[in-house]
Amino acid sequence: MELEESDVITEDLVSFLEGTELGTNGARYTHVDLRKRIFEADRPKSFALKRNGHMIANVTFCVRDFAFYVRYFAFHPRFQSDSRTERKRDGRSLLEQSIEDVFKNLGAQKELPFYAYIEADNSRSQQMSKRFGFSPYTAIISRTFSRLYPRKMKGVSMSSDWNEIAALVKKDYSHYDAYFDTHIRKGPFVVLRNAHGDVDAYAKFNLVEWKIHSLPGRFGSIWVKALPFIPFLRKLIKPKAHLFLCPDIVSHHVDAKKLERFFSAALALYKANSIIWFVDPNDVVYEKVKNRFSWGILDRIIGAKRVNVVMRNANSSYSIKRPFFVSAFDLI
């Protein structure tokens, strides 16, 4: 077994990850735009385990000033049952020991914590994270905002000028736990301008495309086949090419009704029908709007989903006074 280290994203890694299905609790999906997004990873450091020249596992980190983010952690399907399930024995496989050595060696180079996101109902990944020394730090949630017919809003437009909103973003988010601006400053941004042309509200969205193989639940694969024949839902969920938005940042100084209209206008700009918002439940904006929003049909079906933030070598404890900054790039 060979371990290859790289500071760039290789074609071998892209091909390996493109064949990886994600999801849990019956839901399975593929990131259609992985090939485009993976090359945007900030300061990547990748470790590939190979056997006979073929990749069997990979862990790729984004090296940030405050922590190592575990961006990709994947196994070849032949090794998933042995590596991702909890074992009754105490020993490690050679595969696991090799990955553990990666964490130890990287941690020795920089004394930084490691963090990752794991869906709360993904028991296999939860057990795997424990085996590698990760423990719960906090949790975020995902909520789905949807509109069958998104409406435009006067004053809402696209902008590519980071300097136009930089001061507002810093005021709103700079005190958040794990805040960094590498991805959010790239744009484009959706802004709401007043009559004088000044920005009253802002957000940055990522347009995401998934191919959905199965929905959650026992009959998830049947639901996917039935969706094209179900009124309303067939417009909101398109299994072969499901497009949606994910916000990185949302202006803090906006009330629920205005933000609802602003989200709808963003959908109209991007020609999408839904938004998945990954957010700390203690986030200032979310606390203000969560019970005043008309979230739409998909939220009534899906509800709020919990995603755990796990850490290894955490150097502090979570505080509700410092909500966790969620970069949507890390979750899509």
In this prediction, residue 324 carries a pLDDT of 98
Q: How large is the average pLDDT for residues 204-218?
A: 83
What percent of the chain lies above the pLDDT cut of 70?
92
Q: Would you state the pLDDT for residue 79? A: 64
pLDDT in tens, 167-182: 999 999 999 999 999 9
Structural domains of the chain, count: 2
Pair (62, 190) in one structural domain:
no
Domain identity same for 111 and 148:
no
Domain of 78, CATH number, reads 3.40.630.30
Residue 229: pLDDT over 80: no
Mean pLDDT of the chain: 89
State how far the alpha carbon of 298 is from the alpha carbons of 119, 149, 261, 262, 272, in Å: 19, 14, 17, 18, 14
| Together in a domain, 174 and 295 | yes
The answer to pTM > 0.85 is: yes
Token match 């039935």: residue? 226
- Answer yes or no: is 181 within a domain: yes
Based on the domain organization, do 230 and 186 belong to the same domain? yes
AA identity, residue 34: L
In this predicted model, what pLDDT tens digit does every residue of 44-88 receive, in sequence order?
999 999 988 889 999 999 999 999 999 999 887 666 554 444 444
Q: Are residues 6 and 107 in the same domain?
A: yes
Question: What are the tokens at 70?
Answer: 């575990």
Distance set, CA 246 to CA 45, 68, 120, 143, 329 (Å): 25, 22, 19, 10, 8
Residues 164 and 216 in one domain: yes
Do residues 109 and 146 both lie within one domain? no
Is residue 311 predicted with pLDDT exceeding 80? yes
Which residue range(s) make up the domain with 35?
Answer: 2-115
Mark whether 103 and 240 lie in a shared domain: no
Q: What is the CATH number of the domain that holds 263?
A: 3.40.630
Q: Examine residue 136 and state whether it is found in any structural domain, yes or no.
A: no
Contact assessment for residue 188 and residue 158, using Cβ atoms and an 8 Å cutoff = yes
Considering the domain boundaries, does residue 128 fall inside one? no
Where is average pLDDT lowest: 47-56, 131-140, 321-330?
Answer: 47-56
Residues 188, 262, single domain; the answer is: yes
Residues 291 and 154 in one domain: yes
Is 274's pLDDT higher than 90? yes
User: Does residue 125 belong to any structural domain of this protein?
Assistant: no
Average pLDDT over residues 4-19: 90
| Pairwise CA distance, residues 68 & 73, whole Å | 13
Q: Which residue has the higher pLDDT, 302 or 318?
A: 318
